[in-house]
Amino acid sequence: MADPAKKTVFSGIRPTGPAHLGNFAGAMRNWLALQDKYNCFYSIVTWHALSSEYQNSKVIKGYTYEMALDLLSIGLDPARCVIFVQSEVKEHAELHLLLSMVTPLPWVERVPTFKDMQKEMADKDLNTYGYLGYPVLQTADILLYKGEIVPVGEDQAAHLELAREICRRFNRLIGEVFPEPQMLLTETPRLAGTDGRKMSKSFGNAIYLKDAPETIRAKIATMVTDTRRQRRSDPGEPADCPVFTLHAAFVEKPRREELARGCRTAGIGCLECKGVVIERLLELLGSYWEKRAEFEKKPSRIWEILDEGNRRARRVAEATMEDVRAALGF
């Protein structure tokens, strides 16, 4: 099944509920493009979710289902990649523990996301041992599959740098077990939500993949635009328009540039401009909705696919842990 001539890709996504356009334009869409070129392992990282949602752990299982349904419906194919649940492969915990032994405390303390996320999610107490270890767990995820390529957005750069350092240190101190993972920087455009702030589930401004076509139409139709365009005859600036972040992610460049000119010269109205991105999204999501409807007829299919993915992941994880234990001399 795994082609030894292909390099191994690993990436993870936190189960945070149904995916919105921001998740799709970031991680999810990039994963699709890699599934034939590499041996891909894609993990729904339940323990990473738990590190910030430990006071609300009961929602994670449902979110895992939602995320799997979304990943499969956008076209990830379980015959061509491994989709699995992190917490169903216990070796992630074992390798995390072992890596924690060789990881100097200052290395994790200086990872900027540790303090940044505490500020960003001030309603949650993230000053925990588990949260400090977040990037070490992420390192274990990657190394457990001897991942060579890790497609992630810019926001994960510090975590990947740490992963590479931990990898080198383990190989030097314990034994040459792991290839050093490379970061594959993927475009993760910042999408604005309906209110103009960053699209986020917690702001209640998100457009979800599973939204019905009418809902998508309505959400975009009422979305805020550049405030300069009070009247149809007022020129605007696409760079200051939340709607145009959707164009940037989903509308091809020539068409987009034409619209930008139209906005700046008041040659087109916002209604028309929004219409273009709405039609593009409906077209893009057509096959997603079809696939999703099929899966929804048989919800148990999702858990079966994950079970099979968990089994395939486990086989690789177990083999790696044998190498690790041998290197340790255990």
Task: Report the interface residues with ligand SF4, using CB under 6 A.
Answer: 225-226, 229, 236, 238, 241, 243-244, 263, 268, 270, 273-274
156 binds, among ligand SF4, ligand TRP, none (CB under 5 to 8 A by kind): ligand TRP
d(CA 126, CA 289): 36
Binders of ligand TRP: how many residues, by CB under 6 A?
13
**Contact flag: residue 52 with ligand TRP (CB under 6 A):** no
Where does this chain touch ligand TRP (CB under 6 A) — which range of 116-124, 152-160, 256-264, 291-299? Answer: 152-160
**Contact flag: residue 11 with ligand TRP (CB under 6 A):** yes
Nearer to ligand TRP, 100 or 225 (CB): 100
DSSP 197-217: SBP-GGGT---BTTS-HHHHH
226 binds, among ligand TRP, ligand SF4, none (CB under 5 to 8 A by kind): ligand SF4
In the complex, least distance from residue 222 CB atom to ligand SF4, rounded to whole angstroms: 12
**Contact flag: residue 12 with ligand TRP (CB under 6 A):** yes
* Tokens linked to 16: 């945070």
Is-contact 102 170, C-beta < 8 A? yes
Nearer to ligand SF4, 125 or 257 (CB): 257
What single letter denotes the amino acid at residue 42? Y
CA dihedral 227, 230, 232, 236 (to 10 degrees): -30
**Contact flag: residue 148 with ligand TRP (CB under 6 A):** no
- Considering only CA atoms, which of 130, 174, 156 is closest in space to residue 10? 156
Give the one residue of 21, 25, 44, 45 binding ligand TRP; rule: CB under 6 A: 45
Beta bridge partners of 182: 149
d(CA 184, CA 153): 8
**Contact flag: residue 142 with ligand TRP (CB under 6 A):** yes
* Tokens linked to 158: 């510090």
- Considering only CA atoms, which of 181, 150, 147 is closest in space to residue 317? 147
Residues found near ligand TRP in the complex (CB under 6 A): 10-12, 14, 45, 48, 138, 141-142, 150, 152, 156, 159
